[in-house]
Amino acid sequence: MKFVIIGAGSAQFGCGMLGDIFATEAFKGAEISLLDINPQALDKVYKYTIDFVEKNKLDFKITFTTDRKEAFKNTDYIISAIEVGDRFKLWDEDWKVPLQYGINQVYGENGGVGGTMHALRIIPPILDIVADMMEICPNAYMFNYSNPMTAICTAVHKKFPTAHFIGMCHEIAWLHTWLPEMLDKKYEEMDVVAGGLNHFSCLLSLTNKKTGEDLYPTVLKKADSYFESAIGYSDLWMKAKKENITDDTESWDKSAFKGKKSAYQWADRTLLKFILENYKILPITVDSHFGEYIAWAYDVADHKGIADFYNLYKSTLGIREPKIELKKHEKAVYIIEAIANNKDYREEAVNIANAGYIEGLPSWLAVEVPASVNKDGITGHKLSIPKGFLSLLANYAQAYDLTTEAAITGKKDYAIQALLANPVVNKAKLVHKMLDHLIEESTPWLDYLK
């Protein structure tokens, strides 16, 4: 068995994924090829990994290279998390430039103008990676952790419909915190079904595994009292500034806040409150992501919480030394283990092409759904989406179509049309000038648009 980790030079991602693989008994004896375009960062992680393997007497073969084609030889599983250029400098421009043209955005990473630019920068290099995979190891499975997830997965499935390409995201983990605390039940006691589009998913059903009792009415009843005082990113950012420390934005230490209430009402979740009230459905993520796709979200989202999340996120990346822990965190390793050993496994959320899993959304669109996994691969589960929520998903679908077509074909006209189709874009007169401005700020990554 052979793994390739793309983006292995990242101390956070590369070392985190290595810990997951090392902690999985079924992977003993495997080869792991570390791949990155940054030779200095890659060398640092490689030396640390070799030392860790030797000290812990682990049975793994570790190699490293900057040559993708060489790394892909005889590969079974590829795990990738890449970015293009200076992530936060480009993100700042994606957020700031549209403001100069009268267009507000909630976050600008995955949806809106910023999400469109992000997608147009990152899709071409990912398509190049998948092209090499299809040439060298066409039966391999590739797990993508890069954003914008839906745009990336949609583009890959359009251009390489037979590729085993799966998008993985951590947002579903919010339910692992919220539901047990809200209902005073262990997560394992509940049958949880969520889905939609990546960063734009909701809890769809919730039942007691033992009794079959529908627990969703209780969630809707208790949501106000729970979320009104729940700790949010503004609390974390305030703590980080005061103590000059930072926590991982997605797996932060909750023990420091145990029994405490937020200093802010509905921290990070004023849009979530609005969705609960008007759609009677619970988003599985906070305002920063869910609000990226909705025209009116800017009017109701918690902008302080979003800005504090961005600042905290920015402060946590690029400052870490390599550290491997022999623990399983990432769901990709569970999926790989099930495929390799023909184990029946249910994954709560994967991003795959919509093969009839969500009626009312196009088949070319990547959707986020639960899935069954075994030696035959990954099969999504069909979901029933309430009409109100489905209308929000459908509103954004055609923007994804045009964004991915622009990235695949290089046609600037499609990029313009993608912006005009985007629900968040409410100004048209200066869209051409805005796109030219953003292309200039993103050079050379968007120079291919003609």
CATH of the domain at 57: 3.40.50.720
Token output for 135: 């040439």
Query: Is residue 427 within 8 Å of residue 178, measured between CB atoms?
Result: no
Longest dimension (CA), the chain: 64
Average of per-residue pLDDT values in the chain? 95
Q: Are residues 372 and 408 in the same domain?
A: yes
- Does the pLDDT value for residue 251 go beyond 60? no
Number of domains the chain contains: 2
Inform me whether the pLDDT recorded for 33 exceeds 70: yes
**Which has the minimum average pLDDT: 122-126, 253-257, 393-397, 445-449?**
253-257
Kindly state the average pLDDT of the residues 338-361: 97
Last residue of a domain, one of 343, 375, 403: 343
Structure tokens at 149: 């997830």
- At 258, which amino acid appears? K
**The pLDDT of residue 284:** 97
**Residue 30's domain spans which residues?**
2-86+112-169+323-343
Write down the pLDDT at residue 255. 64
- State residue 254's pLDDT score: 59
How many Å apart are CA 160 and CA 262, to the nearest integer? 46
Span 48-64, pLDDT tens digits: 999 999 999 999 999 99
**pLDDT of 247 strictly over 60:** no
Query: Can you give the pLDDT at residue 320?
Result: 66
Query: Are residues 288 and 328 both part of a single domain?
Result: no
State whether 374 and 384 are in the same domain.
yes
User: Average pLDDT of 285-292?
Assistant: 96
Mean pLDDT lowest among 9-13, 35-39, 53-57, 89-93: 9-13
C-beta atoms surrounding 316 within 10 Å:
17
What's the pLDDT band for 159 if we cut at 50, 70, 90? very high
Neighbours of 447 (CB within 10 A): 11
HSE on the CB side for 161, CA within 13 Å?
6
What's the CA gap between 444 and 378, in Å, rounded? 36
At position 440, the amino acid (one-letter code) is: E
- Statement to judge: residues 313 and 164 lie in one domain: no
| CATH at 272 | 3.90.110.10
Q: 185 and 78 in one domain?
A: no
CA distance 236 to 264: 12
The confidence score (pLDDT) of residue 168 equals 98
> Of 343, 377, 412, which closes a domain?
343
Residue 264 in contact with residue 234, Cβ under 8 Å?
Answer: yes
pLDDT band at 248 (very low <50, low <70, confident <90, very high): low
Residues 418, 327 share a domain: no
pLDDT for residue 100 is more than 70: yes
pLDDT exceeds 70 at position 243: yes
List of residues 6+ apart from 375 with CB closer than 8 A:
339, 340, 341, 342
- Which amino acid belongs to residue 322? P
Do 219 and 175 share a structural domain?
Answer: yes
- Per-residue pLDDT, 246: 58
- Range with the poorest average pLDDT among 115-129, 164-178, 254-268, 291-305: 254-268
How does DSSP assign 161-205, residue by residue? TT-EEEE--STTHHHHHHHHHHHTS-GGGEEEEEEEETTEEEEEE
**Quick one: pLDDT at residue 218?**
98
Reduced to 3 DSSP states, what percent helix, strand and coil does the chain have, rounded to the nearest 5? Answer: 50, 15, 35
Query: How do residues 106-120 score in pLDDT, each as one tens digit?
Result: 999 999 999 999 999
- Region for 408 from its dihedrals, namely left if φ exceeds 0, alpha if ψ lies in -120 to 50, beta otherwise: alpha
Residue 324: predicted pLDDT? 94
Cα distance between the two ends of the chain: 42
| H helix intervals, 317-386 | 331-341
Reported confidence tier of residue 169, pLDDT bands at 50, 70, 90: very high
Same domain as 422, residue 439? yes
Are residues 155 and 218 located together in one domain of the fold?
no
pLDDT computed for residue 172 by the predictor: 95
Out of 288, 311, 343, a domain closes at: 343
Dist CA 270 CA 18 (whole Å): 37
Percent of the chain with pLDDT over 70: 97
- Domain check: are 80 and 25 in the same one? yes
Q: Which of 134-148, 211-225, 310-324, 388-402 bottoms out in mean pLDDT, i.e. has the lowest?
A: 310-324
pLDDT at residue number 423: 97
- 398 pLDDT band, cuts 50/70/90, is very high
Q: Which positions ≥6 away from 24 have C-beta within 8 Å?
A: 328, 333, 337
Does 48 share its domain with 9?
A: yes
Task: Confirm whether 289 is a catalytic residue.
Answer: no
93 and 19 in a common domain: no
- If you search the block for the tokens 């985190």, which residue do you land on? 16
- Which residue out of 118, 164, 170, 199 is catalytically annotated? 170
- Within 10 A of 39 (CB to CB), how many other CB atoms are there? 13
Per-residue model confidence (pLDDT) at position 42: 95
Q: Is the pLDDT of residue 252 over 60?
A: no
